[in-house]
Structure 1
Amino acid sequence: MARKRVTVDCYTHFACDAFVQYLEAQVGHPMVFRGLFSRIPELTDVAARLRFMDELDVDVSCLVPLPWLECEPALHADVELATQACRIANDEMAKLVAAHPDRFVGVALVPTVSAQAMVDETRRAVLELGLAGVALFCGPTVKPLDDPSFELLYSTCQELDVAVWIHPCRPQNYADYDQYQREGKGSLHQIWNSFGWIYDTSVAMVHIALGGVFRRYPHLKLISHHHGGMVPFFTERFITQRRNFQEEGDEDMLSDLKYFYCDTATFGVNSANIEQSLDFFLPGRVMFGTDTPMDMGNRGGFLASARKTIDGLRCLSADEAERERQLHNLYAGNVLAMLGKRAPPSLQTAPSLASL
């Protein structure tokens, strides 16, 4: 009988109820994600999530918290309220992980309104609560991730050897056109997340790379969502246009884009996209990740499509043993190596056997 392949999903979401209740009590209205919570039990109910993982053969899920504080700008801008919100979110996440240490890896929220508060909560979340890293959010309405206020956080994450999960957060009311903004239309046709989030992820990655973040913190682990956005596909176009407009001098820093990690959340069967990511990023940087359970229209669809995408890769070895080693790395080995001692105890010795 064939040995079951270990599967570690590096990019999923969970919402802790106490955190959501605190936010709603502070702002005086239901959170924008409240409708999702009622439609997706796996997003808020631990027992439902474990049943889902067992049913679909997922050994471990890395849990990136929802919602992000930037959903409520007034609360996010208040350092005391933001810090308290993050403490509640992280305490709840830590309880969940402690109850199921071999099934969940927890990610912390940090109050980005204050550099010192960010670092203080990061240290507490990692050193006292045992969480595996922090989530940062990118988009046109929030602080750029190459802002100097993040320097101390990046230094701290490198020191603690923990990762940063980057997630886009462009809101639906951010209009597609200036005219739409004047007309109060916001974004139409789900463009704000279907295309906007991919673009915002890519913009953040370029600013981080050209801002020299990897030069200052060469061991920093930054995880990009949605297979690295546009970066693996359009970097040559980017270089060409910079030359056309005589904006040169730091092109060697564009190679730093290869240091990002990325997931396999393509939202559909698309082996070509992941092949491009594998070709672009450094070996070991592409990790199985699905954005589960945000496929509320097709329960388990993201997992199914990600698996079909990986199994359909043309770049896998024709040698059966080597192919299995490569698949092990994509499904588990790469993310376990990235997590290091933050990986679930039962999997910390799982070997990464190939370079893919």
Structure 2
Amino acid sequence: MIDMHAHFLPAGLVTALEGRSCAPNIVVDNAGKTTIGIHRTRIPYDRAFDDIDSRIASLQELGITRQVLSLPGLFGIDSLPAAESVGLTRAFNDGVARVVAHHADRFVGLASLPMADQANSIREYRRARTELGLAGMILPGDAFASVASAQLMQPLFQLAQELGGLIFIHPGPLPLHQDKGNVDAQTSHRDNVVHRRATVDIQNRLTDIMITLALSDFLDDFIDVPVQIANLGGSLPFIIERMDHVYSLRHPELPLPSRSLKPVYVDSASMGPGALALAVDLYGADRVLFGTDDPVFDASRALAAVRDSGLDETDQNAILEGNANELLKRIAAT
């Protein structure tokens, strides 16, 4: 099995985050509880984020043979001002490259880029691809909330077209949307801001991203660049029938959205068996990748979602390994 959506913090980046006085940072409070401050909130932090030996042990227990490691945009690191993000993203790239060098049969790394400085992002991806041997880049989802905003990312897509590599679109803010100090309050279940932000907002934004990338002509100039979108592409599998209905009434001369999707990949991270079955029905099993969002989410539940989806063995095997195996061969640095 190959996990295409997982995260890791190398030692050099951990040290840098421990030395910061504001989020994103790692802090031990007076009670000895360790948390990491990320975009708009703080979450518990433990060695699962940075201990490669324990990561390998947990993967072996689950039967996961390879894992693609990235720095999630929701940690708010790549969206910091350039004076901060350049050094932090470089520390991640150097660190994950070392992990891959020591465990080439086990891990694959994606580059993190300083989004506030596109010229530096271009230089850093060229370095990550040609010197570090990383397999692609991770970009924040907010950059693809519309076709107009996606146009600003064209230079990075052009570079991926030139150098190769996967572009992984993961939930995350752009620099101008960074909001330091806006930390989620703990509220009652009746109106829990965590539900709104951690589930509804994220999935809605991923749906916007799918409309930008799978239902526009943005990717037409980048046919050689594989694109992966997190969390089954948001809520698109659930609402596609409504989209088809709207088009049949208002634009009967145009092909239905469900028949017009560009061939992007989506991953199954954090989603359940019902959602996965819907996604396969829409995208096809050949476009779905297994993902866990490890260690933020429970990797064993991600595996159970595939096993409990009702999909046949052929489709399950494609999702768990076959699709990713072919994709990793395609994006391997030379």
State TM-score, norm by structure 2.
0.79
Aligned to 1:97: 100
- The offset of 1:242, in angstroms, is 6.0
Distance 1:189 1:31 in 2: 18
Distance 2:234 2:323 in 1: 19
Aligned to 1:312: 308
Q: Show CA shifts across 1:109-155 (max 9, x none).
A: 0122233322221111111101111111124xx67474322111112
Aligned to 2:22: 29
Aligned to 2:268: 264
Letter paired with 2:301: S
Name which of 109, 114, 118 aligns with 1:111: 114
Aligned to 1:169: 172
Aligned to 1:334: 323
- The offset of 1:71, in angstroms, is 5.0
Name which of 218, 221, 225 aligns with 1:220: 225
Aligned to 1:57: 63
Q: How does 1:107-256 map to 2 (within 5 A)?
A: 107-139=110-142, 144=145, 146=147, 147=149, 148-169=151-172, 173=182, 188-241=193-246, 255=259
Letter paired with 2:166: A
Partner-residue secondary structure (3-state), 2:280: helix
Aligned to 2:176: none
Q: Please, what is the CA RMSD of the aligned residues?
A: 3.4
| Percent of paired sites with the same residue | 23
Distance 2:104 2:128 in 1: 15
1:218–1:249 distance in 2 versus 1, CA, 3 Å = farther
Single out whichever of 147-156 and 249-258 deviates more from structure 2.
Answer: 249-258
Partner-residue secondary structure (3-state), 2:139: strand
Aligned to 2:10: 16
For the Cα contact (< 8 Å) 2:72–2:171, is it kept in 1?
Answer: no
Distance 2:92 2:218 in 1: 28
Aligned to 2:40: none
- The offset of 1:22, in angstroms, is 2.9
Partner-residue secondary structure (3-state), 2:288: coil
Aligned length: 309
Q: Show CA shifts across 1:319-344 (max 9, x none).
A: xxxx3x54332211101111215469
Structure 2: unaligned runs, 5 residues or longer: 28-34, 37-42, 174-178
State TM-score, norm by structure 1.
0.75
Letter paired with 2:221: R
Letter paired with 2:56: L
Letter paired with 2:294: T
Partner-residue secondary structure (3-state), 2:130: helix
Single out whichever of 246-255 and 302-311 deviates more from structure 2.
Answer: 246-255
Q: How does 1:58-77 map to 2 (within 5 A)?
A: 58-66=64-72, 70=76, 76-77=80-81
Structure 1: unaligned runs, 5 residues or longer: 1-6, 181-185, 296-301, 317-322, 346-356
- The offset of 1:29, in angstroms, is 2.7
Partner-residue secondary structure (3-state), 1:11: strand
Distance 1:113 1:223 in 2: 22
1:30–1:58 distance in 2 versus 1, CA, 3 Å = same
- The offset of 1:167, in angstroms, is 1.2
